[in-house]
Amino acid sequence: MPLLHASRLAGLVICVLVLAGCSHPVRALVGGNMGIAGDMGVNGQMGVDGDINMNGTMTTVSKTDNTASPVRAIEIGTASPGSDSRIAIVDLDGLLIDQNLSGFGSMGENPVSLFREKMRWIESDPTISAVVLRINSPGGGVTASDMLAHQLQHLKAKRGIPIVACLMTTGTGGAYYLATHTDAIVAHPTSVVGGIGVILNNYNMEDTLGQFNIVSLPIKAGEKIDVGSPERMMQREERDLLQSMADEFHHRFIEQVRSSRGSRLVVTSSAEDIDTDKPDGEADEDEAAEIDPSDLIPFDGRVVSGVRAQTMGLVDQTGYLDDAVALAGSMAGLSSSPSLVLLRRDNDRAMSEFDVTPNVPMTSILPIQLPGLDRSAMPTFLYLWQPDPSIVTANGG
C-alpha cells in the first residue's frame, strides 16, 4: 500500500485505542503481509508495498488515582560544598477547604490532607533545617484554616525549626491566619494582605422557588434545625444566632493576630484603644486626631497592600521568595547556601517553586451559576476575602 495509506492506518489504530479508553485491554488484530519495496537514497525514492499484519493483544494502563504516590522531595539548585542542610518550600494555593477539590485537569487533592502529609514528611527528615511557607490564597473555611494552623504548630513543636511565610499575590483570610502561626512573614510589595473577617454565604430563594410553584414542606423536630435554609426568609432571632457565631470566630481571628504579632502591630485596634483614663473621662482629642482611619489595623475585614501591611505590622518585611528563603536560612543559622526542596507527587507537573499544583474546585458547567441552589454541600463559615463571585459556590456555600 502507499506510504500515505500506511500512516493513515496507523493513525486509525491510535484513534481506536484512545476512544476505547485506557483502563481495559484493547485487542488489535490486523491480517495481511507487509513488505517494503523501492530504493531509498539521497536522490532516490522510497515506496511501501504490501499488507500490514499485526497479531496479539495490546494492553494499555493508566494510573487514575492521583493520590497513589506519596509526596517526594525534588531538589532545585545545588547546595554549597560541605552543606547537607536543606530548606523545604511548602506551597499553599487556592481555596482552603477540607474536601477534595476536583475540576478539569485538577489533581483532586484535599488541601488540608495534602498539607498534613507534607508536614509529616518534614517531621521525619532531619536534613530539613527550615521551612518557607509559600502562600497564594484568599483564605477558606474557618475550621480548615484552623486545622492547617494546628498542623503547623505540631511541626514547630516536633522539630523546632524556623518557619517563614511568604505571601505571594494574595494572603488574606484563612491564609493570613495561617501565616500568623509562623515565625516571620514576608510579603511582596504588591501582595494583597488582611481580610481579617468572617463571612457565611446565605441566600433567600423563597420568591424564586415560588415563581415555579415550588413550596417547601419540611418535616422537622427542633425549631431552629433549618436555620439558614434558602427556602424561606430568615427570622431576626435566627440571624442573630448565626451572627453571634460569626462574631465568635472573628474574635478568635483577632486574638490570634494580636497574640502572634504583639508589639509589632502599630495600632492594635480602633478608637477603643485611645486612652480614656482622663480626669474628665473623655479621650484626648489630640490623640484621637493623630489616628488616621487608614492607620488602623484592618480588623473589619479590609485588605491592604504588602507595603501598607508592613507599616501596620501585619508583616515583618516586604520582599520576594528568595528574600524569604534567605531569612529562613539566617534564622536557622545556616552559614552556607542550602539546597531548596519541593514536595511533589510523581504526577504533579509543578516542578518550579513558582509553579502551582493544578487543584481547582469543580463548579457548575453551566455558564450561569445560582448561588445557594445546590444544597449538596452545606454553607461554611469562611475566613475569606471574597471579590470573585465564583468563590461563593466553589465550596457549596
Are 54 and 88 in a shared domain? no
Strand-pair partners of 141: 382
Total tally of structural domains belonging to the chain? 2
Are 91 and 151 in a shared domain? yes
- Cα torsion 173, 179, 184, 185: sign: negative
Residue 324: pLDDT band with limits 50, 70, 90: very high
Euclidean distance between CA atoms 279 and 1, whole angstroms: 106
Cβ contact 84:127 at 8 Å? yes
Is 66 inside any structural domain?
A: no
Q: Which domain holds residue 235?
A: 72-202+229-275+293-394
Q: Which helix (H) or strand (E) holds 304?
A: strand 303-305
| Cell numbers for 44 | 532516490
Euclidean distance between CA atoms 60 and 20, whole angstroms: 10
pLDDT in tens, 89-142: 999 988 898 877 665 555 667 889 889 999 999 999 999 999 999 999 999 999
In this predicted structure, the answer to whether residue 61 has a pLDDT above a threshold of 60 is: no
R_g of the chain computed on alpha carbons: 29
Are 302 and 174 in a shared domain? yes
- DSSP H helical segments within the chain, as ranges? 3-20, 111-124, 142-159, 174-179, 206-211, 236-261, 285-290, 306-312, 321-331, 390-394
DSSP 3-state of 369: coil
| Cell numbers for 386 | 471574597
Are 27 and 140 in a shared domain? no
Cβ contact 357:350 at 8 Å? yes
- Which CATH number do you get for residue 147? 3.90.226.10
Is 221 inside any structural domain?
A: no
Are 79 and 102 in a shared domain? yes
Are 160 and 17 in a shared domain? no
pLDDT in tens, 256-281: 999 999 888 886 444 444 343 444 44
